[in-house]
């Protein structure tokens, strides 16, 4: 049965597997000090236009969020996120495990609003009891958001400006970064993103890698001096760091990362139009690789034995928000098969 459940259903992009095979018997030092990591870091710096950026490879998203946030905050500081933010909902309390509160603002289709952020901060700093409260020292946003939506360049710039005013760090969770940058609605480039935040990560797991996220501090002085030790302390240091270096080296060779992403977005737009043709409404008008059609119970019943997808949220009247995701691995044959099912709904 074909699956559009998520963008991590398959293994790795073939170019990654090839590179793993090709380099397999080369002896290299551990813990990220190998030639493959060094090469990948250089390629990422070039892609960013930031020759002195600090880049570190971690294994997974929750781990990366938890390690970065804990490394950049003092013990009594907290991080602001949308109510629907991954760190606020789906990380099993990993941020709190490291001692920090996730302070939530309303989510607007997965995004926080700069005006509301500013109002919240004004309120906090004007409160006579602020010293009895968790100090907000970082803003966390996801790009794309958990609902597949995108911040515009102006929206991120506005948030950044507020962060500067209040001496807060801006952290961008890029678990699906490629799918955001490759969207036709995106008005932002990778180098521009690097200018607009203090730290972000380039998601590998969901964009063609077996695992791996590349944490980037565009300005080297922003990176915590002891970040290597902090990674180790968080259980996030791979002995065979090469596994991550090789994968990101492949992803940043010959434009692969963006090629993968563009291809997935093209396929997502085809999925979107399949539902549109049938007049099926969407929960959110997503410009990225996750699509959220609202299906009736009978539509779900009709599809569920032929194709896998996720029930995202139940709605009144026996309708449900569903999620269909494409990825680097989605094939035209899978799309054709899906189309045949949808057209018969």
Residue 233 in contact with a copy of itself, rule: CB under 8 A: yes
Helix residue ranges per DSSP H, the chain:
14-23, 35-48, 61-72, 86-89, 94-97, 114-126, 153-165, 177-181, 190-196, 227-233, 242-251, 256-277, 297-303, 332-343
CA distances from 238 to 20, 208, 244, 246 (A): 16, 19, 8, 13
Kindly give, in sequence order, each residue whose CB lies less than 8 Å from that of residue 240, ignoring residues fewer than 6 positions away.
30
- Binders in 134-193 for a copy of itself, by CB under 8 A: 134-135
- Interaction of residue 277 with a copy of itself, rule CB under 8 A: no
Task: Out of 232, 277, 278, 306, point to the residue binding a copy of itself (CB under 8 A).
Answer: 232
For residue 135, the minimal CB distance to a copy of itself (Å) is 6
Site string (195-214) toward a copy of itself, x via CB under 8 A: ----------xx---xx---
- Rounded least distance, CB 251 to a copy of itself, Å: 15
Picking from 268, 337, 344, the residue whose alpha carbon sits closest to that of residue 302 is: 344
Q: Residue 133 and residue 127: Cα distance in Å, rounded?
A: 10
8 binds a copy of itself (CB under 8 A): yes
Q: How far is the CB of 59 from a copy of itself (least distance, A)?
A: 5
Residues numbered 64 to 93 that lie near a copy of itself (CB under 8 A) are: 64, 66-67, 70-71, 74-76, 78, 89-93
Asked if 133 touches a copy of itself (CB under 8 A), the answer is yes
Q: State the binding string over 237-276 for a copy of itself (x if CB under 8 A, else -).
A: xxxx-xx---------------------------------
Percent helix / strand / coil, the chain, rounded to 5: 45, 20, 40
User: Considering only 138-146, 164-172, 229-237, 272-280, which stretch makes contact with a copy of itself by CB under 8 A?
Assistant: 229-237
């Amino acid at each position: 049965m074909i699956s559009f459940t998520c963008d991590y259903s398959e293994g790795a992009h073939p170019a990654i597997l090839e590179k793993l095979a090709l380099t397999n018997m080369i002896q290299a030092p551990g813990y990220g000090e190998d030639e493959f990591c060094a090469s990948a870091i250089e390629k990422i710096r070039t892609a960013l236009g930031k020759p002195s950026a600090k880049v570190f490879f971690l294994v997974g998203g929750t781990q990366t969020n938890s390690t970065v946030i804990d490394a950049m905050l003092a013990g009594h500081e907290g991080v602001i996120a949308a109510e629907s933010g991954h760190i606020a909902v789906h990380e099993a309390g990993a941020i709190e495990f490291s001692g920090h509160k996730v302070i939530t603002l309303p989510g607007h289709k997965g995004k926080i609003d700069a005006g509301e952020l500013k109002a919240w901060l004004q309120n906090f700093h004007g409160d006579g009891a602020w010293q009895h409260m968790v100090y907000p020292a970082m803003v966390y946003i996801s790009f794309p958001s958990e609902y597949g939506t995108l911040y515009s360049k102006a929206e991120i710039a506005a948030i950044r400006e507020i962060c500067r005013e209040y001496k807060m760090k801006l952290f961008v969770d890029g678990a699906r970064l490629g799918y955001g940058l490759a969207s036709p609605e995106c008005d932002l480039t990778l180098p521009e993103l690097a200018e607009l935040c203090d730290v972000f990560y380039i998601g590998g797991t969901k964009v063609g890698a077996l695992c791996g996220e590349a944490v980037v501090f565009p300005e080297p002085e922003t990176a915590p001096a002891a970040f290597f030790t902090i990674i180790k302390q968080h259980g996030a240091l791979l002995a065979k760091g090469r596994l991550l270096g090789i994968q990101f080296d492949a992803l940043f060779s010959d434009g692969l990362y963006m090629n993968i992403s563009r291809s997935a977005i093209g396929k997502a737009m085809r999925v979107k139009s399949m539902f549109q043709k049938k007049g099926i409404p969407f929960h959110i008008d997503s410009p990225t690789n996750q699509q959220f059609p609202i299906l009736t119970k009978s539509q779900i019943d009709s599809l569920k034995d032929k194709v896998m997808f996720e029930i995202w949220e139940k709605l009144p009247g026996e309708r449900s928000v569903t999620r269909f995701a494409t990825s680097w691995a989605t094939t035209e044959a899978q799309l054709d098969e899906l189309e045949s099912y949808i057209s018969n709904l």
